Chain A
Amino acid sequence: MLSEIFGAGGGNDIQWCFSQVKGAVDDDVAEADIISTVEFNHSGELLATGDKGGRVVIFQQEQENKTQSHSRGEYNVYSTFQSHEPEFDYLKSLEIEEKINKIRWLPQKNAAQFLLSTNDKTIKLWKISERDKRPEGYNLKEEDGRYRDPTTVTTLRVPVFRPMDLMVEASPRRIFANAHTYHINSISINSDYETYLSADDLRINLWHLEITDRSFNIVDIKPANMEELTEVITAAEFHPNSCNTFVYSSSKGTIRLCDMRASALCDRHSKLFEEPEDPSNRSFFSEIISSISDVKFSHSGRYMMTRDYLSVKIWDLNMENRPVETYQVHEYLRSKLCSLYENDCIFDKFECCWNGSDSIVMTGSYNNFFRMFDRNTKRDITLEASRENNKPRTVLKPRKVCASGKRKKDEISVDSLDFNKKILHTAWHPKENIIAVATTNNLYIFQDKMN
């Protein structure tokens, strides 16, 4: 750990280097290839991505090369499968996208790996297992599987397992369907590892991983009269340690913490986190930009982080009336809200994540930039995910956006930013300084410079 505090170049800032990039080079992006979620598993050995085409691709980190101690293992394709298909609900006249909204890994209990993947309506539990042996020497079957005529069998042998090329198989073990009228935005596995929640715009349901024909509704904010609808649920997550506690965020910038011990239906929150607004600053855009697009508990469970359009906020669960830290992601966009509203970018949903020790938080921005905020040093950095920087072990150059006035050399002006290049999804390895950053259709992996 000391080597991480007093880094190679002196000082305690991480030096990020390009490691790998996955995906096609061409600029013509097919809709199906748009990455919609990225998630490391609990050990960090596996990295899963979901896309708009309903496909899941899982990468596995190579075992560390003993001779090459200065680089960590690369991530290579481990398994890929079609998780969800497009559907049409004739009854409601509703087209159901196959886009994978979220993937969440279960902690590993045996040789197989399990993950939950969800689209707008259906959650699926997938089992990913390895097969590296196969039985040979059956008495009644030929090697190709055809059945032998039993009358031709004159001797018996004991079948044995022989090694074969590794096969990774993904199979759907549970399908949790028909529980959401609105569109699922979040799934979160409980620390009891038996239950999980799924949240749509207006409701949150609690499931048991073994039971697919029934779920319990634990939050329902649908008003009796839809004309009175003023806010929707934007994200939800279980507390990492307390199996009775979860939070959900809203389009109005509030977070509610609920305790399932209090009542069966958690419509009344135990805590309400909301930063008071300065009424003199209120505008048409205020509510839209305050909408929380992601909420994540710290690994410790003491804090939670929220992402709204322009900032990242850290909340202490013991203090409801304001966040303890606020970091500006791209404040220069505040004077561009009119155009961002017109091109719909103001509705982009950025995610955020913690590093393993909860000391640094990361989130994406436009122009394929992503930002990191060190909570201890209060320093921040802007980096770019681009194929131009792809020399391994070369430290990435920090980027700077010039908000107004004279643009310095190496700075980029706000008007030159490409708003089609958004980094909405990022993930941080649970233990190491390895990050996965998704651009529209490419996945970048960066690592800190060792030695």
Chain B
Amino acid sequence: MAAPLGTGTRTEEPGQEKQDAQEKEIAHPERAEEAKLKAKYPNLGQKPGGSDFLMKRLQKGQKYFDSGDYNMAKAKMKNKQLPSAGPDKNLVTGDHIPTPQDLPQRKSSLVTSKLAG
């Protein structure tokens, strides 16, 4: 009976080694899962749990808009013509300042909740 790939199910091969490994998996399912994860992602951080998750959690919602750059660009623009859209696909990344208008607008829900419908 062939085992489907990636599910970790065991084929019915005899042999003490396989039986021992199976017992270990049952006794320490977490360790077996950890081994699976490390096999897939060998570069996973050394610290279990730890700072990576926490930092990601603290930085939720971070977007890339620099108000200083934006205001300086606005000041510079006053003296120049505003560049037209279209031919400027090749703008150097550093010169294109994202503006509040460029950021995907998050409109509030004007629709009533369906729970109230």
Q: Which of A119-175 contact B (CB under 8 A)?
A: 120
Q: Which chain B residues in 42-62 approach chain A with CB under 8 Å?
A: 44, 48-51, 53-55, 57-58, 60-62
With a CB–CB cut-off of 8 A, which chain A residues contact B30? Answer: 281, 283, 285-286, 334, 337
Q: Indicate if B3 sits at the interface (CB-CB under 8 A).
A: no
- A97-B61, A335-B29 are known contacts. Are A283 and B114 too (CB-CB below 8 A)? no
Comparing B13-21, B78-86, B88-96, B100-108, the segment that makes contact with chain A is B100-108
User: Which residue of the partner chain, among B53, B100, B117, contacts A88 with CB atoms under 8 Å?
Assistant: B100
Which residues on the B side are within 8 Å of A97 (C-beta)?
A: 61
A17 at interface (Cβ–Cβ under 8 A)? Answer: no
The reply to whether the CB of A287 lies closer than 8 angstroms to some CB of chain B is yes
A68 interface contact, C-beta 8 A: no
Q: Is B33 in contact with A86, judged by CB distance below 8 angstroms?
A: no
- Please measure, in the bound complex, the distance between the C-alpha atom of A335 and the C-alpha atom of B51, giving whole angstroms: 24
Q: Which listed residue, B33, B58, B108, B113, touches A337 by the CB 8 Å rule? A: B33
With known contacts A77-B116, A86-B106, A334-B29, A96–B48 Cβ distance under 8 A: no
Is B115 within 8 A of A288, CB to CB? Answer: no
Return chain B residues, CB-CB under 8 Å to A415.
Answer: 7
Q: Is A49 in the interface zone, CB < 8 Å from B?
A: yes
- A347 to B36 CA separation, bound complex (whole angstroms): 19
Which residues in window 322-347 of A have CB below 8 A to B? 334-338, 341-342, 347
The answer to whether B65 and A93 have CB atoms under 8 Å apart is yes
Q: Which residues of B contact A74 (CB under 8 A)?
A: none
Whether B76 sits at the interface, judged by CB under 8 Å, is: no
Flag whether A275 is at the interface (Cβ < 8 A).
Answer: no
Measured CA separation A337–B112 after assembly (Å) = 38
Which residues of chain B have C-beta atoms less than 8 A from A55's C-beta?
109, 112-113
Most buried by A among B25, B38, B103, B114: B114
Q: Mark A90-104, 1 if CB is under 8 A from B, else 0.
A: 110111111000000
Closest to A182 in B: B58
Residues of chain B within 8 A of A338, CB atoms compared:
33-34, 36-37, 40
Q: Which residues of A contact B106 (CB under 8 A)?
A: 86, 88, 95, 98
Interface size bracket, A side: 35 or more
- Contact partner, B63, options A85, A93, A231, A284, Cβ 8 Å: A93
Does B24 count as interface, using CB distance less than 8 angstroms? Answer: no
User: Are A23 and B115 within 8 A (Cβ)?
Assistant: yes
Q: Which residue of A lies closest to B114 (CB)?
A: A24
Q: Which residues of B contact A287 (CB under 8 A)?
A: 48-50
A33 in contact (CB, < 8 A): yes
Residues of A within 8 A of B74 (CB): none
Interface residues of A in 228-242 (CB under 8 A from B): 229-232
- A54 CB–B CB distance under 8 Å: yes
- The answer, yes or no, to whether A251 is at the interface (CB within 8 Å) is yes
Q: Is the CB of B58 within 8 A of A201?
A: yes
Interface residues on B, range: 35 or more
- B8 → chain A closest CB, angstroms: 9
Residue in B33, B40, B103, B116 whose beta carbon sits within 8 Å of that of A336 in the complex: B33
- Contact partner, A80, options B25, B66, B112, Cβ 8 Å: B112
How does the 8 Å CB contact mask read for A439-450 relative to B, with 1 for contact and 0 for none?
Answer: 001110000000
Choose among B44, B60, B108 the residue that contacts A86 (Cβ–Cβ < 8 A): B108
B residues less than 8 Å from A335 (CB atoms)? 25, 29, 32-33
Is A399's beta carbon under 8 Å from chain B? Answer: no
Residues in B neighbouring A49, C-beta threshold 8 A: 113, 115
Tell me if A308 counts as interface (CB < 8 A to partner B): no
Q: Kindly state whether residue A417 has any CB partner on chain B within 8 Å.
A: no
Q: Are B51 and A94 in contact (CB under 8 A)?
A: no
A402: min CB distance to chain B, Å = 15
The answer to whether A285 touches B34, judged by C-beta atoms less than 8 angstroms apart, is yes
- Judge whether B51 and A441 touch: CB under 8 Å: no
Residues of B within 8 A of A230 (CB): 50-51, 54
Residue numbers in A under 8 Å from B60 (CB-CB): 120, 183
Q: Is the CB of B63 within 8 A of A95?
A: yes
Which of chain A's residues have a CB closer than 8 A to the CB of B114?
23-24, 33, 441
CB closest residue in chain A, given B104: A95
A94–B61 Cα distance when bound, in Å, is: 5
Residues in A whose Cβ lies below 8 Å from that of B50:
230, 287
The reply to whether A93 and B66 form a contact with Cβ atoms under 8 Å apart is yes
Question: CA–CA, A55 to B111, complex, Å?
Answer: 10
The 10 closest A-B pairs by CB, nearest first: A287-B49, A53-B109, A335-B29, A86-B106, A283-B30, A337-B33, A338-B36, A24-B114, A85-B108, A338-B33
* 9 cross-chain CB contacts under 8 A: A23-B115, A57-B116, A93-B65, A93-B67, A95-B106, A96-B61, A183-B58, A183-B61, A284-B37
Chain A residues packing against B (C-beta within 8 Å):
22-24, 32-33, 35, 49, 51, 53-55, 57, 77, 80, 82, 85-86, 88, 90-91, 93-98, 120, 182-183, 201-202, 226-227, 229-232, 251-252, 281-288, 291, 334-338, 341-342, 347, 415, 441-443
Contacts A53-B109, A229-B55, A229-B58 aside, 6 further interface pairs with beta carbons under 8 A come to: A32-B109, A80-B115, A98-B108, A334-B33, A337-B29, A347-B53
- Interface set of B (CB-CB < 8 Å, partner A): 7, 25, 28-34, 36-38, 40, 44, 48-51, 53-55, 57-58, 60-67, 100, 103, 106-109, 111-117
